[in-house]
Chain A
Amino acid sequence: MSGRIPGMAERELVEFTFEGEKVSAWEGDSIAMALWAVGQTDLRNSSSNGAPRGVLCNMGICYECLVIVDGETVRSCTTMVQPGINVQRGGKR
């Protein structure tokens, strides 16, 4: 169970899509944290056995949280949400 810490860090709402589903985020969220806040911790599949992978370091070091934003593979922990972006699970790499 995740969510937002009550009363902390409130910001303007931003909407984007993850795998075609609408996600409400807050301005200034990283994609990884916007998704975590709505309970989406599974961000890509490992290339060997398809097992789910998600955030490990949350500071741009590990490249475990890769997702595809409008065709480009990015680190979801260091890429900020923008209104209207289309985010898809990162695949093989």
Chain B
Amino acid sequence: MSGDRVLEADVGIVGAGPGGMAAATKLAAAGLRVVVLDEGQRAGGQIYRQLPKGATSQAAMPEPPSHDHGHDLIKEFEQHAENGLQVIHGATVWDAQPGLLWFEHDGESRLLRCGHMVLAPGAYDRAIPFPGWDLPGVTTAGALQVMTRGFGVVPGKRALVVGSGPLLLPTVTSLLGAGVEVVAALEASSRWRALRALPAVAFHAARRREAMWYLKQLSRARVKLQWGWTVFACEGDGRVQRAIIGKVDGNGRPRKGTERTIECDVVGAGFGLVPSIEIGLRLGVPSQFIASRGGHCLVVDAEQRTSVSTVFAVGEICGIGGAEVASAEGELAAVAILRELRGAEMQPAVAARARLERKAADAMLSAFAPLPGLHELARPDTIVCRCEDVTRLRAGQAAAMHGKTMRAIKVGCRAGMGPCQARICGPSLQAMATGDNECQMDLPVVQVPLKPVRSETILNAPE
């Protein structure tokens, strides 16, 4: 790999998950110079995360049928990576302008100059604060996936899985595959609300197959998904030792008198995903708020092009949709770029597939839009901003004194000013501070660096 501080490419791609891989493969196959910047150590992103290099396994985690597609994508991508496609793993992109991507890699400050750009940074777990969510052993659902599938580490002895949405199922099966006892799996949505997802699953062959596989895994382990339940609190001395669980109403509000205590040493909480849009906002791309797609997401045209003509966006950054949507949109963006740069023909079948996958995902995820009543789980003394240790009470005081906007709350109590840059607290902070459960999060204020990097990286940034 080249150690040059400044790299040049026809197309720069951010992220090596399904969207980034699909775009990169298609563009590299057409002979374009492509550089992929990926924060992970290996290709695959979070959904198709690979084990560390050099790992040998006699035992494999159980895998749903959709992962075959992931293996194919990774195989093709890695073949291109050996033949001209340049992939830089461990790269943190901290600033972007059209045609320019500044990143830190191996402690070095580097710059990628590129004609076109494909943004495929993915998503992260939506956190909902509840008492004790800051205890060690309480993690996001995604964290447990990384732990088990990405590193082969056993999370604990007895796990509780809570949250909402389709990702609870892979979390449970990964825990089972790791030999962990899943003491309960709590879906906050009611069974009736979730039934709205049924047609979208039933009429989509791959999703139907996937759902059947998961249900088989759960029933084999005698784990039952409990609808309309969630975690009320976690307790323990230095690590979670027990959880208080209970029923919620159709809006997600905790129902008093339904509490039960359950012993566990791991809690995985996954209340859906939030699109990682910061880089798009920095590039000046307009966004829209779609609750069932995870909140603020980038606006793109029918070929994944943003309002900045050289910048394309694919997958979760355009709204949560899953791996199939991401790879279809990645391919579509590549087709559009090839049309512009090489005069290649449009491929209506590729565009149709991306539209179809997006539509199917929207139909399914509309049944799992975040439940506003869950914002009542946090108590006045619950820490809502973990970076700055701000309690719900203090955030509420700040909102009362300074105003109900994100900016006012930040200034008033420092919530959202820490290194996570409000990625964790942001989606629920305003609702918690204002007491208005339905309150939507303001568009995040983009900060540079987009992620914390060394000060030398910023000072020594190549021009």
Q: Which residues of A contact B (CB under 8 A)?
A: 1-12, 26-30, 33, 36-37, 41-43, 46-49, 51-64, 66, 77-78, 80, 93
Residues facing A in B142-158 (CB within 8 A) are 142-144, 146-148, 150-157
| A77 CA to B420 CA, complexed, in Å | 14
How many A-B pairs fall under 8 Å by CB? 156
Q: Tell me the interface secondary structure of chain B in the complex.
A: loop
B386-A10 in contact (CB<8A): no
| A10 CA to B59 CA, complexed, in Å | 10
Instruction: Knowing A5-B179, A8-B59, say if A61 contacts B423 (CB, 8 Å).
Output: yes
Instruction: Knowing A27-B52, A52-B135, say if A10 contacts B57 (CB, 8 Å).
Output: yes
B136-A52 in contact (CB<8A): yes
Chain A residues near B54 (CB-CB < 8 A): 11-12, 27-28
A52-B238 in contact (CB<8A): yes
Chain B residues near A9 (CB-CB < 8 A): 51-52, 55-57, 151-152
A7-B58 in contact (CB<8A): yes
The 8 lowest CB-CB distance pairs between A and B, nearest first, are A28-B52, A9-B152, A54-B136, A58-B143, A7-B59, A48-B389, A63-B419, A7-B58
Residues facing A in B69-90 (CB within 8 A) are 90
Chain B residues near A43 (CB-CB < 8 A): 136
Which of A5, A46, A58 has the most C-beta atoms of chain B within 10 angstroms of its own C-beta? A5
A28-B53 in contact (CB<8A): yes
Instruction: Knowing A9-B55, A10-B55, A43-B136, say if A58 contacts B386 (CB, 8 Å).
Output: no
Instruction: Knowing A4-B152, A57-B124, say if A33 contacts B424 (CB, 8 Å).
Output: no
B59-A64 in contact (CB<8A): no
Instruction: Knowing A1-B265, A4-B152, say if A61 contacts B124 (CB, 8 Å).
Output: yes
Closest chain B residue to A6, Cβ basis? B59
Instruction: Knowing A28-B54, A42-B136, say if A2 contacts B152 (CB, 8 Å).
Output: no
Closest chain B residue to A80, Cβ basis? B41
Chain B residues near A61 (CB-CB < 8 A): 124, 420, 423-424
| A60 CA to B15 CA, complexed, in Å | 14
A1-B238 in contact (CB<8A): no
Closest chain A residue to B57, Cβ basis? A8
Chain A residues near B147 (CB-CB < 8 A): 33, 36, 58
Instruction: Knowing A61-B124, A61-B424, say if A55 contacts B151 (CB, 8 Å).
Output: no
Q: Tell me the interface secondary structure of chain A in the complex.
A: loop
A42-B239 in contact (CB<8A): yes
B157-A1 in contact (CB<8A): yes
A56 touches which one: B60, B139, B155 (CB < 8 A)? B139
Assuming A8-B57, A27-B54, A54-B139, what are 10 further A-B pairs, CB within 8 angstroms?
Answer: A6-B59, A8-B152, A9-B51, A41-B137, A46-B389, A47-B389, A53-B134, A55-B139, A61-B424, A93-B419
Closest chain A residue to B122, Cβ basis? A59
Closest chain A residue to B127, Cβ basis? A56
Closest beta carbon of chain B to A39's beta carbon, Å: 9
Chain B residues near A1 (CB-CB < 8 A): 154, 156-157, 265
Closest chain A residue to B452, Cβ basis? A63
| A43 CA to B135 CA, complexed, in Å | 11
Chain A residues near B39 (CB-CB < 8 A): 60, 78
Q: CB of B262 within 8 A of chain A? A: no
Q: CB of B286 within 8 A of chain A? A: no
| A53 CA to B182 CA, complexed, in Å | 23
Closest beta carbon of chain A to B381's beta carbon, Å: 10
Residues facing A in B129-176 (CB within 8 A) are 134-140, 142-144, 146-148, 150-157
Chain B residues near A78 (CB-CB < 8 A): 39, 90
Chain B residues near A49 (CB-CB < 8 A): 389
Closest chain A residue to B52, Cβ basis? A28
Mask of B353-383 contacts with A, CB within 8 angstroms, 1/0 = 0000000000000000000000000000001
| A9 CA to B177 CA, complexed, in Å | 13
Chain B residues near A46 (CB-CB < 8 A): 134, 383, 386, 389
Chain B residues near A60 (CB-CB < 8 A): 39, 92, 451
B153-A57 in contact (CB<8A): no
Closest beta carbon of chain B to A65's beta carbon, Å: 10
| A86 CA to B419 CA, complexed, in Å | 23
A5-B419 in contact (CB<8A): no
Chain A residues near B41 (CB-CB < 8 A): 28, 80
| A21 CA to B105 CA, complexed, in Å | 30
| A37 CA to B156 CA, complexed, in Å | 9
Chain B residues near A54 (CB-CB < 8 A): 136-137, 139, 239
| A12 CA to B265 CA, complexed, in Å | 29
Closest beta carbon of chain B to A6's beta carbon, Å: 6
